[in-house]
Amino acid sequence: MIVQAFNAFSENTVLLPDGGGGVVVIDPGFSTVQEWNWFDDVLSSQGWEPRAVLLTHAHLDHVMGCHGMHRRFGLKPMLHALDEPTYAMAPRAAELYGISLDPLPELHGRRLEADETVEFGSLRLTVRFTPGHAPGHVVFVDNQADRVIGGDVLFQGSIGRTDLPGGDASALARSIEDVLYGLPDHFEVVPGHGPSTTIGAERTSNPYVNAEGTGMLQQG
């Protein structure tokens, strides 16, 4: 796995090799020539060929590389059906932020479904539905590597914001308590922003949602 932050929002793009020369790109955030050059260097040094684009959710910062992934590799992004409106809204969000966004490609014909396992080569990712930050947010659990690619649900010492369209604070708290904290303590959380953490560290001391129920977002 390679994780690298891109674009004005320092969004973590995650590259997961499929064990057969392919690589799955989660939340492609490439937005400048330099960022695409970084990706090209990784592809040639690792000998990887992009095989799929998956989205945890479709906020602007997570889709900035979708145009290029389609134009250069013919890959259309896969997401959960409930995040289609978020995807459709991304160009408007770019305008509001005053950021240029290349036209987004058509979505892949296949939608990600809650609790399904998607396979690419030897890579198996279980899709878990985690709404709250975005209405169709999902996380990808990699049980072979003991980690979860978590998007903007749970961060080191923080959680995703819920003030954007489709945000829902109590849904987010439930997603974290029921889905993320249902994973083993030693699982690594690779978030959409900032450093990785572990389920156990956040369950114990996350100030917003924790196992004690004393977090700022919890009823207790």
Report in angstroms how near the CB of residue 25 gets to Zn ion at its nearest: 15
Report in angstroms how near the CB of residue 157 gets to Zn ion at its nearest: 16
Burial 161-197 (b: 16+ CB within 10 A, else e): ebeeebbebebbbebbbebbbebeeebbbbbbbeeeb
Nearer to Zn ion, 126 or 162 (CB): 162
Nearer to Zn ion, 132 or 192 (CB): 192
Instruction: Compute the distance between CA of residue 19 and CA of residue 144 in angstroms, rounded to an integer.
Output: 12
Q: Which residue is nearest to Zn ion (CB)?
A: 59
Instruction: Compute the distance between CA of residue 48 and CA of residue 177 in angstroms, rounded to an integer.
Output: 36
Number of H helices, E strands in the chain: 6, 13
Instruction: Compute the distance between CA of residue 191 and CA of residue 197 in angstroms, rounded to an integer.
Output: 8
Binding residues for Zn ion (CB under 5 A):
59, 61, 152, 192
Report in angstroms how near the CB of residue 181 gets to Zn ion at its nearest: 20
Residue type at 57?
H
Nearer to Zn ion, 17 or 192 (CB): 192
Report in angstroms how near the CB of residue 200 gets to Zn ion at its nearest: 24
Nearer to Zn ion, 51 or 59 (CB): 59
